A and B are shown apart, each in its own frame.
Chain A
Amino acid sequence: MSSGSRFGDWATAGVLALMAFAAAGVMNSAGEQSEPRHATATPAPMTCGSCHTDYDGLLAEDHPKISGDTVGACLDCHPTDRASRSARNLLSARLHPAHLPPKGDLDCEHCHTWRAAEHFGLAGVTDDNRGAPTAEDMQWMRAGMLTWVGSGFLDHLHARAGIGCADCHGRRLPPAETTLTNEQCLACHGPLEKLVERSTPSDFADRNPHQSHLGEIACTVCHKAHMASSVYCLGCHRNFEMTIPGGQ
């Protein structure tokens, strides 16, 4: 595998890093996960071996023997999709949940390197650069990652279907104002006509949230990834009976 694979989508690579550098020795309580514990810098990288003495119990029987104790070992066989749309059930969608609360107890910076507003990458992989998040960006990313791992929100519904960060956000860290376009949602959930058909109420056909009197609106008006989704219609039509996945 060429070294180019190291620059695949950031979530996949990030997960590989998590696996590579799981570090039991520096775990902290889940409550502290949402606080940026390091204002500007990353702790010394840990290796997978710091926690895992062997991988036999973790990997499928036919998984080749792992040689090496860094993420590079995984990247060679688990290539990442440069088109920023990756296959389902990626390593990222399995490994982040395994190491983050509630199952695990690690924080981003155990496996990722970060210099505030300069750099975010994968510890132990040279030249890996996936953006330049500020402390505030890190806080939001951490919060989004945690709800993706476990919450009643839409992000977790995606996680359960094996959809990782990169499937929506691409290989770079999402900038502060990221909001998905309808085309991105419809790439999997479309075409719109299909959605319209599926959400046509049996009683009143014109009360269809995907074809309303507001015309074409953003999916994200109702469907929020990292917070509770809510039916915008109900802001005025208080007597409608409508529910939404990932809602309160």
Chain B
Amino acid sequence: MAEQKEPQEKSIGTITRRSMLKGTVALGAAAMTGSWALNMAAPGRAEAAPKKLPDSWDETWDVVIVGSGFAGMAAAAEAAGAGAKTVILEKMPTYGGNSIINGGVYAAWDSQFHYRQNLNLGDDSPELHAEDTIKGGDYYNLPDLVQVVAKGAAPALDWMISEGGARVRPTVTRAGGHSAYRTHTGVAGVGREFTDALRRIAEKRGAAIALNSEVTWIWRRDAYPQSPVLGLEVKRGRRTLNIRADRAVILASGGFSWDIKMRLAHNPRMVESFNCTNQPGATGEMIRFAQAVGADTLHMNFIQLYPFAEPKTGILDTPAVYPFNGPGYGIIYVSKAGKRFVNELERRDVCAFAQIHLGPDAKPTWSIFNEAMVLKMGGSNEEVAAGIEKGRFIKADTIAELAGKLNIPAAALQETVAKHNQYIDGGKDADFNKPMTKAMIPLAEGPFYGLAQWPAVHHTMGGIRIDDRARVIDIFGNPIPSLFAAGEVTGGVHGSNRLGSNAIPDAVSFGRVAGTNGAKAKTEA
């Protein structure tokens, strides 16, 4: 991590700015007493009401973390490991947020098992991972932040394996937007493989988790660059508590995919009728509270659709991960008419909007794969059997039979498959210019499988501005003392479009950075 100089404000600027900010709070003389809390919420909103700083604290911790997903757990593990008395506050009655329900795929250029090298799947490096990530984000990504993730991914994976007991399947896949075979899959097939591992490390080191504890405000006296965040207001059951953080507050509260109002405010295309893959707690209040104490945000309009969610409910269940892991091994996506509509190795935004642009009656589209691909793409025979039972995977011995079951014209599907098989042979995709590789398997031998898919709102790339030390940056470019953030609540790592399997390494790597630095910080009241 780069050592950065603390930006020093000129004193005259500081004074002006400070008084101006107090003016913004619109409390007039009351602010002079010093007992009012900073609140930059837009006037007229309920949140903008003047708030008194708490006279006393109900609980005091060294490090207080908001959110119990990858980022919060990793931060807790590092903070507690550094000797800080650490608590995680989670508003939901269960721990894990989006992390515990996630697909469990993790991009890292290497691991202690070196699967890519051992399976002869080509070259990779942190530099290449960073390059792909930035290209996939249309060069909007903040390169400093991408470096932390690309470099942190492999050590963080090994940390979860060695210290937390996480297990990964013995393969790596090449997923959409990635130019290398670097995506690892947890054995559980869901993010819980890694949340449980992080939780074991965090709890072993003494961190506590408080569920049903919703943070409702961030306490800070003013926006003076030296003014630290002091603590949080928390709703727990029917009580409202004030919790003091002696060293740091770390925001790890995830994205806002379920915050329909916030979604629409920044990206009107993300209309209410879209399904959503997220857990119901994925709302944006912590971003607003952070803004109200001076935090800057960026990229709030970049919101990702997952192209392959279960069409009826928008769930990203175990089968719905297959289309994402499959392209490197030859999976194809077809429309109801039995035709391909996109280069399957394309990024998520391209794959999602290619489906939406098929027209109003295009839902659902289908992924087609065969048995030979299952294990290679990180799947398992048990998962396929369970998916068949639930009617998610449709199985057939021939392409014609599969077409019949999927209600697709058989001739069209047979033609599409035959053409794609030739493209694999010839190494060139004449329709969509997909970069064909030797690892791709032709759809020649059955059994074959079909899986219905449709886009659903999935990930918010934007959020709170941080630097490469996970410090939250205010609207003037200064770090806010004692306030850190990590994971999906932050913006800038993924640019306009997050590559699949990049969110876990982001959240875990930055969670570790935030926990390490948070434990070293100090607030003074």
Contact = CB atoms under 8 A, between A and B. Distances in A.
Given A177-B239, A235-B279, A217 B93 contact: yes
A214 interface: yes
A217 B94 CA distance: 6
Contacts of B239: 176-177
A48 B239 CA distance: 38
Contacts of A206: 386
Contact of A214 (B100, B236, B280): B100
Interface stretch (A19-27, A83-91, A161-169, A236-244): A236-244
Contacts of B389: 204
A215 interface: yes
A63 interface: no
A173 to B, nearest CB: 15
Contact of A236 (B190, B238, B315): B315
A152 B313 CA distance: 29
Chain A's interface: helix, strand, loop or mixed, by majority? loop
B236 A236 contact: no
A213 interface: yes
Contact of B280 (A136, A140, A218, A236): A236
Given A177-B239, A235-B280, A237-B315, A213 B390 contact: no
A194 B310 CA distance: 32
Nearest to A240: B313
Interface in A152-194: 176-177, 179
Interface centre among A179, A214, A238, A239 (most CB of B within 10 A): A214
Nearest to B196: A215
Interface centre among B190, B196, B313 (most CB of A within 10 A): B313
Contact of B279 (A176, A218, A221, A236): A236
Contacts of B204: none
Interface in B442-472: none
Contacts of B312: 239
Given A237-B315, A239-B312, A140 B96 contact: no
A36 B287 CA distance: 40
B192 interface: yes
Contacts of B280: 235-236
Name the interface size band of chain B.
20 to 34
A238 B238 CA distance: 28
Contacts of A215: 100, 192, 196
Chain B's interface: helix, strand, loop or mixed, by majority? loop
Contacts of A239: 312-313
Contacts of B237: 176-177, 179
Contact of B93 (A140, A177, A204, A221): A221
B94 A204 contact: no
B199 to A, nearest CB: 9
Interface string A196-217: 0000000010100000011101
A179 B313 CA distance: 32
A213 B190 contact: yes
A218 B315 contact: no
A55 interface: no
B94 A221 contact: yes
B101 interface: yes
B211 interface: yes
Nearest to A207: B390
Contacts of B96: 214
B313 A237 contact: yes
A218 B100 contact: no
Nearest to B190: A213
Contacts of B315: 236-237
A220 interface: yes
A140 B238 contact: yes
A238 B236 CA distance: 27
Contacts of A217: 93-94
Contacts of A218: 93-94, 211
A236 B101 contact: yes
Contact of B94 (A177, A214, A238): A214
Q: Which 10 A-B pairs have the closest CB atoms?
A: A221-B93, A217-B94, A235-B280, A177-B237, A238-B313, A214-B94, A239-B313, A213-B190, A221-B94, A204-B390
Interface of B: 93-94, 96, 100-101, 190, 192, 196, 211-212, 236-239, 279-280, 312-313, 315, 386, 389-390
Given A215-B100, A239-B312, 17 more contacts: A136-B238, A176-B237, A177-B239, A204-B386, A204-B389, A204-B390, A213-B192, A217-B93, A217-B94, A218-B211, A220-B93, A221-B93, A221-B94, A232-B94, A236-B279, A236-B280, A238-B313
10 contacts: A136-B238, A177-B236, A213-B100, A214-B94, A214-B100, A215-B196, A235-B280, A236-B101, A236-B313, A237-B315
